[in-house]
């Protein structure tokens, strides 16, 4: 890795992204037309200090997850993203690995859903991005690291904390659908080392996962109506739709409410207030 070249590339691409293109207010008194370092850090989910050290060539060996996050935040094309991986001394994701690239056109679509909770995951249900309304609704995922970002891991090995209300039957069905989705991804990307490692760690960490995996359960996570117990605004019942984009193999999860309902009012309140504490 040439740290100086990597840093120059990040800075050059940061300067070309207008804040409004990233769903941020343009504001006033900007010395440059592009993103500020703190804005790039916010979009990529990393610290401002780390962005500074990367740009100045004082940090080396960023992980693939960091490079992926920077590529998404900088709205890089597939070719540009691959170049950033190479500058980091990493092999760009190939056709045999789970896709994690969010194209600029899809990112623009997501940027326009400012009042709607949206999260994007890859084919293995590893979270790639979540917008502020999603964080306000489901809890802020920005501190999740490693396997914590994978929904199968969180529900079957991790703490399993979720605001979605489940009956024992619906929880079992939900877990089976997640595992079935993961099995399908493993069949599509048999050469993906990270995916194989995730499956091995899930088998070692969860008897429930091993049971579902070995049983050959089939199915998939589909659209559903979910009841969410929010600690500040109370109970909301929302439609959860899972969309895919042809050729990307990404899961785009969108939560909406029936217009004019109490659920819609509570969702709008969450969107306005974000993740800040609500004072009664």
Domain with CATH 3.30.450.180 in the chain: 104-273
* Four-residue CA torsion sign, 265, 267, 273, 276: positive
The CATH T-level fold of domain 3-87 is 434 Repressor (Amino-terminal Domain) (1.10.260)
Instruction: Please write the tens of the pLDDT for every residue from 69-120.
Output: 899 889 898 889 999 999 999 888 877 889 888 887 888 888 888 889 999 9
Q: Tell me how far apart the alpha carbons of residues 187 and 201 are, in angstroms, rounded to a whole number.
A: 17
Q: Tell me how far apart the alpha carbons of residues 220 and 67 are, in angstroms, rounded to a whole number.
A: 29
Assign domain 104-273 to a CATH class.
Answer: alpha beta
Instruction: Please write the tens of the pLDDT for every residue from 16-56.
Output: 888 777 666 666 666 767 888 998 998 888 889 999 999 99
pTM: 0.79
Q: Tell me how far apart the alpha carbons of residues 258 and 242 are, in angstroms, rounded to a whole number.
A: 17
pLDDT number for residue 1: 54
Instruction: Please write the tens of the pLDDT for every residue from 229-256.
Output: 999 899 999 999 998 887 788 999 999 9
pLDDT number for residue 25: 66
Contact 265, 234 (CB under 8 A): no
Contact 217, 210 (CB under 8 A): no
Taking phi over 0 as left and psi of -120 to 50 as alpha, with beta for the rest, 234 belongs to: left
Report, as an integer, the average pLDDT of 170-191.
92
Domain with CATH 1.10.260.40 in the chain: 3-87
Q: Which of 84, 62, 60, 64 is nearest to 11 (CA)?
A: 84
């Amino acid at each position: 890795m040439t740290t100086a070249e990597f840093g120059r590339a990040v800075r050059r691409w940061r300067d070309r992204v207008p804040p409004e293109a990233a769903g941020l207010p343009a504001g006033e008194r900007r010395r440059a037309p592009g993103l500020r370092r703190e804005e790039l850090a916010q979009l990529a989910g990393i610290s401002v200090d780390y962005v500074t050290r990367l740009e100045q060539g004082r940090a080396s060996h960023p992980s693939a997850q960091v490079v992926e996050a920077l590529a998404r935040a900088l709205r890089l094309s597939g070719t540009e993203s691959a170049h950033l991986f190479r500058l980091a001394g990493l092999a760009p994701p190939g056709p045999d690995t789970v896709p994690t690239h969010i194209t600029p056109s899809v990112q623009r679509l997501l940027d326009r859903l400012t009042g709607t909770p949206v999260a994007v995951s890859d084919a293995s249900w590893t979270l790639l991005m979540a917008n502020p309304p999603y964080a306000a609704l489901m809890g802020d995922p920005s501190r999740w690291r490693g396997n914590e970002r994978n929904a199968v891991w969180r529900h079957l090995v991790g703490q399993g904390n979720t605001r979605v209300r489940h009956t024992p039957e619906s929880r079992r069905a939900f877990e089976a659908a997640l595992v079935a989705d993961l099995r399908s991804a493993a069949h599509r990307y048999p050469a993906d080392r990270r995916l194989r490692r995730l499956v091995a760690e899930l088998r070692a960490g969860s008897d429930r996962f091993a049971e579902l995996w070995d049983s050959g359960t089939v199915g998939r996570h589909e659209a559903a109506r979910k009841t969410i117990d929010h600690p500040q605004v109370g109970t909301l019942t929302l439609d959860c739709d899972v969309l895919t984009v042809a050729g990307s193999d990404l899961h785009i999860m969108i939560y909406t409410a029936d217009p004019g309902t109490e659920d819609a009012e509570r969702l709008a309140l969450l969107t306005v207030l974000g993740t800040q504490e609500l004072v009664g």
